[in-house]
Amino acid sequence: MTVDITRYDEGAPHSAGAPFHESRGIPRLRMVLRPHKSLTPEGFVWVVGLTASLMALPVLAVFGTPVLWGLLPFVLAAIWALWWGLKRSWSDRDLHEELLLWDDHVTLTHIAPRRAPQTWEANPYWVRVRIRPEGGKVTDYVTLKGAGREVEIGAFLAPSERRQIYDVLSREMGGV
């Protein structure tokens, strides 16, 4: 699942992996949102290995002839390009958002590869959670409005997952 929701009881141990803020302590809610990745590490090995195997067939047909040396660089370049492209695509999807909620503070951090993290902070009492079934960037577009800004959350998730985080945030922040 691409939405990981953790609720912490009072006094949850920091050593158990609970996030800790020096002045606020452990939050009562931590939500980590990640985009879905359809290619697993095993799938990556299979795709690259199968492609290399299939591209080796024409190379085997010309093995022992001078044509091999003309064909080989292009076959190796194609396999390398596939490997590089899949790795780059994988790292580009390595973005995530983390929402930490205390009784008196909420922090949303958007972390994207090769960019500085973007952080938004507000008092949850003044934050309004909104969902736009249509008319937003995506279907069921969820935003948090507070501290003079409106920020999106989970735009890369499926509509059902956005509805789920809307329900959780509405309940945790005291309604809309």
Query: Residue 176 has what pLDDT?
Result: 42
Residue ranges covered by each domain of the chain: 3-37+93-172, 41-92
Query: Residue 108 has what pLDDT?
Result: 96
Task: Provide the whole-model pTM.
Answer: 0.73
Tens digit of each residue's pLDDT, the chain (176 residues): 588 888 887 654 555 555 666 567 889 899 999 988 888 889 999 999 999 999 999 899 999 999 999 999 999 999 999 999 999 888 877 889 999 999 899 999 999 988 999 999 999 999 999 999 887 788 899 999 998 999 999 999 999 999 999 999 999 987 54
Going across the sheet that includes 128-132, the strands are 128-132, 141-146, 149-152
Q: Which long-range contacts (CB under 8 A, 24 or more apart) does 131-140 make?
A: 131/162, 131/163, 131/166, 138/162, 140/166
CA dist., res. 102 & res. 12, Å (int): 13
Residue type, 168: V
Query: Residue 38 has what pLDDT?
Result: 82
Question: In CATH, which of 2.30.29, 2.40.128, 2.60.120, 2.60.40 is domain 3-37+93-172?
Answer: 2.30.29
